[in-house]
Amino acid sequence: MFSADEYCASVWLNSSHVHKVDAQLNNTMRMIAGVIQSTPKEWLPVLSHIPPPNLRRINALIGEYNKIQQNQNLPIRSWQQEWSAKQNISIPCITHEPPGFHLPRKSRSALNRVRIEHGRCANAMHKWGKAPTPFCEFGAIQAVRHIVKECPRTAYSAKPENFLTATPESIAYLQFTECLSLKSFD
């Protein structure tokens, strides 16, 4: 009965139907303790020598969580390792939120597009048939990389890693490119 109760409890322990399960478990505890239906509930775990069901479920959740934390063979682990090996960057793989995750959507969007060097720059827009030329005003192919690293008008002078760690000053730069009405990040 109790092992059935804990089956996948981590998924449903906050369900509004938990009281129905608890009613069954209370009956079981009454049966084990040999007490009658009207026995106050707080006696049941003590007399049946079974911890309260809600605590057992929380324990099951914690146990499962710890098991996952410690298991090095989970597919997500190898994915995380692959990510770290391949990207070699300071954005943690799922274990923590990426830096700047709580910035206003507009800034976060611009930040991510600069990070992956993929956005609506003239080059991309031209490829998609939405811009007449792929060039910036200086005649260079306007890719995101060009905007951020090369273009005399907009290039970012500090370390590009700042975008990965979302330093305040790199966020300010993104706002600056917006002030220049550079529509590339829209």
Footprint of Zn ion (CB under 5 A): 136, 138, 140, 151
Q: Which residues of 108-136 are buried (b: 16+ CB within 10 A; e: fewer)?
A: bebbbbbbebebbbbbbbbeeeebeebeb
Residue 184 C-beta: closest distance to Zn ion, Å: 11
Cβ-based nearer residue to Zn ion, 31 or 155: 155
Residue 120 C-beta: closest distance to Zn ion, Å: 15
Cβ-based nearer residue to Zn ion, 112 or 177: 177
Residue 161 C-beta: closest distance to Zn ion, Å: 22
| CA 118 – CA 136 distance, rounded (Å) | 16
Residue 75 C-beta: closest distance to Zn ion, Å: 43
Q: Count CB-CB contacts under 10 A for residue 174.
A: 24
Amino acid sitting at position 163: F
What one-character DSSP code corresponds to residue 149?
A: I
CA dihedral 167, 172, 175, 180 (to 10 degrees): -130
Cβ-based nearer residue to Zn ion, 56 or 146: 146
Cβ-based nearer residue to Zn ion, 50 or 140: 140
